[in-house]
Amino acid sequence: MIRTHGLRYKYPAGPQLAFRDVELARGGVLLLQGRSGSGKSTWLSLVAGLLTPTQGDVEVAGQALAALSRGARDAWRARSVGFLPQKLHLSEALTVRANLALAFYAAGLPEDGARIDEVLARLGVGEVARRKPSQLSGGQAQRVALARSILMNPRVLLADEPTASLDDEAAAASLELLREVAQACGASLVVATHDVRVRNALADAVVYRLDATEPVAA
Ligand code: ADP
Ligand code: MG
């Protein structure tokens, strides 16, 4: 479940952004649409607790983010939020397996190698566990990042432009996989995109057409 109320954000050197209220049911799918610069990535960061709103509240799976200290919020995010960023942020210094192990440290949990192997295999990339990220195709790297994001069975799964730079077939497969893994975790899924192809693949999603640079009625 995701609920936002009166959400505003201003980057130090950026425009004032204002977001319409959103309520997404547990297990629901939200398609966050809008042109480049409309505030999609910012909204995802606010919901993930990576940015603190200048006004308004976010509640995720019953947790009001404002009630958490920064440390508690980071620990909460590591356990409860699956984030598939546009830039995957896999460490080139580490193997795939070690990249995924970091998620356990962030969550304050002992590393569970069997869980890492299980999730990689489930996403069809079991054979790349010992490789470095530079030895992966784009599609494999995205699956590895998706595996990392669902290790803890998050309550929400947030994907930022997951189809950017994928051809039609790979884009459809990526969305299908996101939907599948979100369902398996019982997580709500948010896909932020300006890619019009996504609308067809997520035909049953709640659509939130975003332009945070437009004034919002109070
Ligand atoms: P989208 O993901 O829809 O392309 P963003 O959330 O990235 O939109 O950006 C929304 C607005 O905030 C844009 O006007 C962008 O220029 C601005 N913005 C984004 N990040 C920063 C930043 N770090 N500093 C200043 N302005 C930013
Ligand atoms: Mg963006």
Q: How far is the CA of 45 from the centre of ligand 1 (A)?
A: 11
Query: Could you give the CA distance from residue 190 to residue 160 in angstroms, rounded to a whole number?
Result: 8
Low-confidence ranges of the chain (pLDDT < 50): none
What pLDDT, on the 0 to 100 scale, is given for residue 218? 53
The number of the ligand nearest the C-alpha atom of 39 reads 1
Q: How far is the CA of 3 from the centre of ligand 2 (A)?
A: 20
The residues spanned by each domain of the chain are: 2-209
Query: Could you give the CA distance from residue 156 to residue 158 in angstroms, rounded to a whole number?
Result: 6
Closest residue CA from atom 15 of ligand 1: 37
| 2-209 CATH | 3.40.50.300
Nearest atom, ligand 1, residue 161 CA = 2
Q: How far is the CA of 20 from the centre of ligand 2 (A)?
A: 17
Q: How far is the CA of 18 from the centre of ligand 1 (A)?
A: 12
Query: Could you give the CA distance from residue 8 to residue 57 in angstroms, rounded to a whole number?
Result: 9
Nearest atom, ligand 1, residue 13 CA = 25
What pLDDT, on the 0 to 100 scale, is given for residue 217? 61
Give the Cα-Cα-Cα angle 154, 200, 32 (nearest 5 degrees): 50
What pLDDT, on the 0 to 100 scale, is given for residue 126? 97
Query: Could you give the CA distance from residue 126 to residue 21 in angstroms, rounded to a whole number?
Result: 40
C-alpha of 196 from chain center: 19
The number of the ligand nearest the C-alpha atom of 50 reads 1
The number of the ligand nearest the C-alpha atom of 85 reads 2
What pLDDT, on the 0 to 100 scale, is given for residue 214? 82
What is the best residue among 42, 198, 208, 209 to mutate for testing ligand 1's pocket, by most ligand atoms within 8 Å of CB?
Answer: 42
pLDDT, tens only, 132-181: 999 999 999 999 999 999 999 999 999 999 999 889 999 999 999 999 99
**Amino acid letter, 174:** S
Residues with a CB atom less than 6 Å from ligand 1: 11, 13-15, 17, 34, 36-42
What is the best residue among 35, 38, 161, 194 to mutate for testing ligand 1's pocket, by most ligand atoms within 8 Å of CB?
Answer: 38
Burial label, 173 (beta-carbon count in 10 A; 0-12, 13-18, 19+): middle
